[in-house]
């Protein structure tokens, strides 16, 4: 006799608790009970109903509420807290009532009228860490919010929650009090750490020439890239720090948003063959200047300036360096200034959305740079990377030609510098698309070892490992990428979602794909169709398929199939069948 399959669904779970309930009961039990009942009936229950929620149960001084929408759950929580914010003390009690609220989006198991599962457990743990009068939400919830609502939340860092094995990145709305949990940035293995942490803000372009912006941004990106090779430092990815470009910011606010202790800021002025670079390192908790310097140099000294800055930063923040990291703490892309100029021009195109046009523009710049410095491992690696994207998406050459070019440039890069992380990343991707899965995984692992703090490296390693047949191993790098980049691009969520999906962690996969869709509407929905279908939820799969065709009316299963890379061909066939069964053309 087979056991009935447990009913599961994705839901936003709101956990709420009355602050200091035991103390209030000790003061006046009758008044405390009456005040909590009145709060529920006059504020909580009407707002839950108005926002489409369902109170699953009340537990003494708390309640558990289910919502179909994360946005509705957050709106309800903020409205409830606002209603209590100006209220006075209830009759018979000395203080006004305050609530803690935690919200998570995840897979739940239906147990009669009750709900169970990690989605519920994380919400309850977040509630216990929320500030009195505030709301604490998980990253999965934050990703669903519209920009206007999201702006009301500040980063609370990656939190180590009781009985939850992996730190949960959270966002806070409301009072900033000592009750807020201590930030614990995630390390590569998912554990908590107190290693130094740094955000490098975009330097100001003081040249008076907007065309010099690529030069200034390239210098900053090179500093971030070099520092990301250090295992003893957590450096925030450029796609998170560059959201502050052109803005006057309070470094203490930046530090709170990004969960870091130190902030580097500066400026660059270029005139003819001279540059002036100023840089200052600040302790963001106190606003104190730890180090400041001005460099007036020839343009030919730009690489020496970068080396000096990165070495000083590592020293000032007391970063522990291994012997290999001491050797890697140097700028190595190219020693040719003209080649470097083309390199950073290409980066400006590379950081735009991935399209055929942007990819072609980046490749053109990098080919010019490589012609000026053919012995640069990094330039060979990145030219190879663009041929990998060509092979996957079919933009220029036929696939076998593009794969051969990607492998040739990657092999050349590795011959020049076996310890170049970009070379290992490109080689891993080229081998993956060529069907050599074990070798692809080996180079992905090497890239992670050589650049442990690089968000893009971690995200791409997650991609390679998941589809090369190692999804459980892929989850760590995917979560590391998110921890290193609070304002990450949507595709980070998609890559991690597939690692979760292939590892059988369905609820987390669904939340990740919804976050991808929220960041880049229309994307993530293909994977959502597959996840629901293969988990036995055909109605949910069909609903996701309808959403997909609304956002991407030109989608076809055949075109999608041409971009997919799988070590397990039978799994891919099952995914294709799932997409067709959901009604996709």
Asked whether 170 and 137 are in contact (CB, 8 A), the reply is yes
Asked whether 448 and 477 are in contact (CB, 8 A), the reply is yes
- Residues with Cβ within 8 Å of residue 237, at least 6 apart in sequence: 224, 228, 454, 455, 456, 481, 484, 485, 488
d(CA 337, CA 260): 33
- What is the full per-residue pLDDT of the chain (585 aa) written as tens digits? 444 556 778 899 999 999 877 777 777 888 888 989 999 999 999 999 999 999 999 887 889 999 999 999 999 999 999 888 767 788 887 777 889 999 999 888 887 778 888 889 999 999 988 888 899 999 889 888 887 777 788 877 777 777 777 778 888 887 643 333 333 333 333 333 457 889 999 999 998 777 788 899 999 999 999 999 888 889 999 988 998 888 888 888 888 778 888 999 999 998 888 999 999 999 887 778 889 999 999 999 999 999 889 988 888 888 877 767 776 677 778 989 999 999 999 999 998 888 899 999 999 999 999 999 999 999 999 999 999 999 999 999 999 999 999 999 999 999 999 999 999 999 999 999 999 999 999 999 999 999 999 999 999 999 999 999 999 999 999 989 988 888 788 899 999 999 999 998 888 888 888 888 888 889 999 999 999 999 898 999 999 999 999 999 999 999 999 999 999 999 999 999 999 999 999
Phi-psi region of 154 (alpha: psi -120 to 50; beta: other; left: phi over 0): beta
Q: What six digits make up the tokens of 158?
A: 């990656």
Asked whether 529 and 576 are in contact (CB, 8 A), the reply is no
Angle between helices 525-534 and 569-581 (to 10 degrees): 100
d(CA 433, CA 446): 18
Count other Cβ atoms within 10 Å, centred on residue 147.
6
d(CA 529, CA 270): 51
- Classified as helix, coil or strand, 295 is strand
- Classified as helix, coil or strand, 428 is helix
Single out the residue of 465, 551, 548, 252 nearest to residue 479, CA to CA.
Answer: 465
Whether this model's pTM surpasses 0.85: no
d(CA 410, CA 402): 12
């Amino acid at each position: 006799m087979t056991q009935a399959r447990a009913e599961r669904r994705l839901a936003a779970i709101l956990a709420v608790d009355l602050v200091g309930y035991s103390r209030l009961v000790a003061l006046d039990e009758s008044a405390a009970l009456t005040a909590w009942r009145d709060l529920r009936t006059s504020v909580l229950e009407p707002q839950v109903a108005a926002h489409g929620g369902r109170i699953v149960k009340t537990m003494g001084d708390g309640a558990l509420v289910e919502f179909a929408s994360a946005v509705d759950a957050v709106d309800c929580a903020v409205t409830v807290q606002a209603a209590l914010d100006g209220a006075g003390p209830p009759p018979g009690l000395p203080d006004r009532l305050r609530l803690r609220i935690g919200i998570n989006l995840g897979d739940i198991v239906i147990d009669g009228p009750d709900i169970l599962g990690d989605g519920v457990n994380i919400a309850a743990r977040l509630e216990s860490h929320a500030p009195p009068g505030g709301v604490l939400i998980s990253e999965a919830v934050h990703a669903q919010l519209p920009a206007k609502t999201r702006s009301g939340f500040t980063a609370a860092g990656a939190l180590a929650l009781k009985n939850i094995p992996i730190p949960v990145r959270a966002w806070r709305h409301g009072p900033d009090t000592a009750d807020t949990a201590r930030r614990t940035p995630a390390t590569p293995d998912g554990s908590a750490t107190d290693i130094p942490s740094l955000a490098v803000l975009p330097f100001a372009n003081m040249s008076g020439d907007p065309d010099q912006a690529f030069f200034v941004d390239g210098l900053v990106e090179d500093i971030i890239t070099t520092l990301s090779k250090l295992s003893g430092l957590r450096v925030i990815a450029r796609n998170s720090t560059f959201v502050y470009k052109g803005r006057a910011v309070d470094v203490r606010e930046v530090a709170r948003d990004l969960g870091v202790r130190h902030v580097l800021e500066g400026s660059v002025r270029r005139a003819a063959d001279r540059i002036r670079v100023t840089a200052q390192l600040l302790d963001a908790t106190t606003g104190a200047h730890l180090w400041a310097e001005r460099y007036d140099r020839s343009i030919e000294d730009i690489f020496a300036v970068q080396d000096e800055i990165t070495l000083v930063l590592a020293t000032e923040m007391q970063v522990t360096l291994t012997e290999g990291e001491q050797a890697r703490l140097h700028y190595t892309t190219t020693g040719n200034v003209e080649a470097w100029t083309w390199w950073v021009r290409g980066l400006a195109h590379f950081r735009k959305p991935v399209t055929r046009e942007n990819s072609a523009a980046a490749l053109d710049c990098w080919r010019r740079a490589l012609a000026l410095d053919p012995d640069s491992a990094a330039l060979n690696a990145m030219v190879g990377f663009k041929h990998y994207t060509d092979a996957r998406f079919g933009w220029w050459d036929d696939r076998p030609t593009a794969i051969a070019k990607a492998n040739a440039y990657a092999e050349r890069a590795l011959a020049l510098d076996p310890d170049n992380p970009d070379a290992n990343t490109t080689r891993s991707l080229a081998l993956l698309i060529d069907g050599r899965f074990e070798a692809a995984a080996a180079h992905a692992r090497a890239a992670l070892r050589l650049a442990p703090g690089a968000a893009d490296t971690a995200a791409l390693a997650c991609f390679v490992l998941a589809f090369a047949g190692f999804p459980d191993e892929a989850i760590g790098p995917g979560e590391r990428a998110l921890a290193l980049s609070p304002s990450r691009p949507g595709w980070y969520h998609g890559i991690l979602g597939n690692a979760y999906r292939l590892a059988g962690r369905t609820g987390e996969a669904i939340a990740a794909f919804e976050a991808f869709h929220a960041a880049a509407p229309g994307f993530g929905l293909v994977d959502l169709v597959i996840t629901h279908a293969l988990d036995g939820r055909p109605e949910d799969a069909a609903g996701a398929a309808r959403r997909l065709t609304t956002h991407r009316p030109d989608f076809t299963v055949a075109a999608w199939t041409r971009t997919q890379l799988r070590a397990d061909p039978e799994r891919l066939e099952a995914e294709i069948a799932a997409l067709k069964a959901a009604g996709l053309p």
